[in-house]
Amino acid sequence: MFIDSRPLTLSDLSLLMQSLIFILLLYSIYRKKESIAKHGKIAGVAFYLALPSILYMMYSRSKGFTLLYYDSLLSLHMLLGTLAIIIGIFFVTNQWKWKGKKYMDLGIILWAGTFLLGFTVYLLLFGLIFP
């Protein structure tokens, strides 16, 4: 992201992907007013596009990635992300009999919280913010 100061990393690409995916999810919410079928398709595409980035983050964590002094922030990010993924799997596969607006609202809140925490982790990781 900061080409003149350091090389592009997988973390940069992951953040870019997650940002675009979050915008796509917000767009799917907007499209819901016109067609619930289009809403579902767009949200499903967003979910599947997120998988490579999620797998990269899981791989990094399995290799011992941590943020010294911020492990609780990283753990909260992982917890919210895990819950968002589980809900997303149920929605995308249509396996949740309680699939409804309140659970979808919960899903987008979890996804937004995960995204914001992930963005904060990114800023801390590359020293763009200091506590």
- Reported as a pLDDT band with limits 50, 70 and 90, residue 60 is confident
CB-based contact 15:122 (threshold 8 Å): yes
Residue 119 pLDDT: 92
For 91, the token pair is: 């929605």
Position 131 pLDDT exceeds 70: no
Mean pLDDT over 15-30 rounds to: 91
Residue 96 pLDDT: 65
DSSP helix/strand/coil, 130: coil
Mean pLDDT for all residues in the chain? 84
Length of the chain: 131
Model confidence over 75-104: pLDDT tens digits?
A: 899 899 999 988 888 888 876 666 778 888
Query: Please, is 68 exposed, middle or buried when counting C-beta atoms within 10 Å of its C-beta (0-12, 13-18, 19+)?
Result: exposed
Q: Distance (Å, rounded) from C-alpha 72 to C-alpha 75?
A: 5
Position 19 pLDDT exceeds 90: yes
Position 56 pLDDT exceeds 80: yes
**Of 98, 94, 97, 84, which is closest to residue 25 (Cα–Cα)?**
84
Q: 41-50, 60-69, 84-93: which range is least confident on average?
A: 60-69
Non-local (6+) Cβ contacts of 69 within 8 A are: 131
